[in-house]
Homo-oligomer: A and B are copies of this chain.
Amino acid sequence: VSGYLQSLFGDDVVDALLADRAHLQRMLDVEAALAEAQAAEGVIPAAAAPPIRAAATIAALDEAALAAGTARAGNPAIPLVEQLTAAVARTDPAAAAFVHWGATSQDIMDTAMVLAVQAAGTRILDRLDEAADGAARLAERYAGTPITGRTLLQSAAPVTFGLKAAGWLGGIERARDGLARALGDARVVQLGGAVGTLASLGEHGPAVLEEFATRLGLGVPDLPWHAARDRPAAVAAALGVVAGTLGKVARDVALLAQGEVAEVHEAVAPGRGRSSAMPNKRNPIGSAVAIAASLRVPGLVATVLAAMPQEHERGLGGWHAEWEVLPELLHLTAGSARAMAGVLGTLEVDAGRMQEAIGAGGGRIMAAAAAMALAPAVGRQAALEIVGRAVRRVDAGGTTLAAALRDDPEVTAHLAPADLEAALTPERDLGSASVLVARALARHEARRGARTAEAGTQTFVDRGVVTTPSGPEERRG
């Protein structure tokens, strides 16, 4: 909604792809591809396509008139087709007769939406790869660094910061894969004409459909899907999982950056995260962006799902509800991915504080380990009670868990001093943490290899836009 907030909550590249002018150009590209496909299949005269392609440039449009026409007609395709027809007529009145031939507004708007989703979605996948790389570097570097494990917001038992980062890594990679899959499924054109029968194309319907799709680098759906919205809905849902996953990472970072914890901090940069009143503060801005996205995205996903029951051949209101919501989902998820790729890539980690915190609290954090050391002898529940008693003594003050346990004959009857000490050593209580981290990193490496191999082979996205000389330059980089 707001221009001055766009860069904070979004990603500049994705926002450029979603900008009004870029999107209107995309609709024009779709009209041009349609004319070319129909000319190729003999549905319209061959001579009609070049003038339509030539006129299909945003520079020729009157955007204010378009906005007014949209409010009047009820969708932007109608005034856009009128303006395009008039532009073609100025150079070739005969060709003007064939603008938007056999199509309905929704054919153009949905296909342009697919192109936008693919273009923005691909960029989000890249940002998620960056974020995963950042998490992987943290997982590797801190694979052996103990940190307080925390459950239900209470200090619990030791983990490693590497394991924590590996958990972030796994979530990001899976969410990325889910999005990639949903994008792949949704990579199809929309073309059905007024009611989905391709009636105006006579027997050429399937051939035009094929040609139209090829020219845009998109796939051919079995059937028009004007009122069957599962594909965009599944993309929206996948974006929801991405935003939630990034929100989890952001929440962890923000909690670890609290003054009392201070185990990590978002990187310092000039002017970044300042307070307007408190020079002692360094606000975790990247996390704020991702947390805000994780709060806003679910409601938008719900909107797309709630809008799915669209009436008959093309719906009233449900389809309209998607127009701004899908771009907003892309915008917010892209912003979240951008923010967290930045946070993970530059996170400041204070391994010393982590170590220190584990030692604080009189060794309380080793209580579970102590109980498990006792359990084979006295049973798990009895062990929990014995150690619980010792913890209460620690809480009452003046002793440590180690001392309290050494004082307890129910403990010393079963555990030799050396075994007790071993049980109370955080570094020996990390279980399979390093194995689990290694496993996550191995999978990450395998994925990176696959990514490199496929790089440069993706030519399908927003090709109609990219091959148009009038396309905005930000989409060429």
Are the CB atoms of B2 and A305 closer together than 8 Å?
no
**Which residues in window 288-327 of A have CB below 8 A to B?**
288-292, 294-303, 305-318, 320-321, 323-325, 327
Are the CB atoms of B149 and A194 closer together than 8 Å?
yes
* Range of interface residues on A (Cβ < 8 Å): 35 or more
Contact residues in B for A174 (Cβ distance below 8 Å): 185, 228, 230-231
The answer, yes or no, to whether A343 is at the interface (CB within 8 Å) is no
The answer, yes or no, to whether A190 is at the interface (CB within 8 Å) is no
**Which residues in window 1-25 of A have CB below 8 A to B?**
1-9, 18, 20, 23-24
A78→B290 CA distance, assembly (Å): 20
Chain-B contact segment, one of A117-125, A152-160, A458-466, A469-477:
A152-160
Are the CB atoms of B233 and A156 closer together than 8 Å?
no
The answer, yes or no, to whether A276 is at the interface (CB within 8 Å) is yes
The answer, yes or no, to whether A187 is at the interface (CB within 8 Å) is no
A78→B435 CA distance, assembly (Å): 29
The answer, yes or no, to whether A104 is at the interface (CB within 8 Å) is yes
Are the CB atoms of B154 and A283 closer together than 8 Å?
yes
Contact residues in B for A299 (Cβ distance below 8 Å): 298-303, 306
Given contacts A20-B3, A200-B372, A306-B294, contact A276 B78 (CB under 8 A): yes
Are the CB atoms of B193 and A251 closer together than 8 Å?
no
Contact residues in B for A153 (Cβ distance below 8 Å): 254-255, 257-258, 284, 311-312, 315-316
A229→B364 CA distance, assembly (Å): 29
Contact residues in B for A272 (Cβ distance below 8 Å): 72-74
The answer, yes or no, to whether A205 is at the interface (CB within 8 Å) is yes
A301→B236 CA distance, assembly (Å): 12
Given contacts A3-B63, A244-B308, A303-B296, contact A206 B432 (CB under 8 A): yes
20 further interface pairs, Cβ-Cβ under 8 Å (given A100-B380, A167-B225): A4-B66, A73-B273, A99-B380, A104-B277, A105-B275, A154-B258, A154-B281, A156-B195, A156-B314, A194-B278, A201-B432, A228-B248, A230-B244, A244-B306, A248-B308, A248-B310, A255-B311, A255-B312, A296-B303, A298-B306
The answer, yes or no, to whether A402 is at the interface (CB within 8 Å) is no
Contact residues in B for A436 (Cβ distance below 8 Å): 196-198, 222-224
**Which residues in window 126-184 of A have CB below 8 A to B?**
148-160, 163-164, 166-168, 170-171, 174-175, 178, 181
The answer, yes or no, to whether A403 is at the interface (CB within 8 Å) is no
Contact residues in B for A294 (Cβ distance below 8 Å): 305-306, 308-309, 317
Are the CB atoms of A259 and B150 closer together than 8 Å?
yes
A382→B28 CA distance, assembly (Å): 21
Contact residues in B for A365 (Cβ distance below 8 Å): 280
The answer, yes or no, to whether A391 is at the interface (CB within 8 Å) is yes
A-B contact pairs, 29 of them (CB 8 A): A6-B67, A7-B68, A8-B75, A73-B273, A101-B375, A148-B259, A150-B258, A155-B260, A156-B278, A158-B195, A159-B195, A197-B431, A222-B439, A223-B436, A223-B440, A228-B248, A229-B244, A233-B241, A237-B241, A244-B307, A244-B309, A260-B261, A284-B316, A292-B321, A295-B317, A296-B325, A298-B303, A298-B305, A302-B302
The answer, yes or no, to whether A47 is at the interface (CB within 8 Å) is no
A438-472 vs B, CB cutoff 8 Å, 1 = contact: the mask equals 01100100000000000000000000000000000
CB distance from A255 to the nearest CB of B (A): 6
Contact residues in B for A385 (Cβ distance below 8 Å): 279
Chain B residue with the shortest CB-CB distance to A371 = B279
Contact residues in B for A194 (Cβ distance below 8 Å): 149, 151, 156-157, 275, 277-278, 368
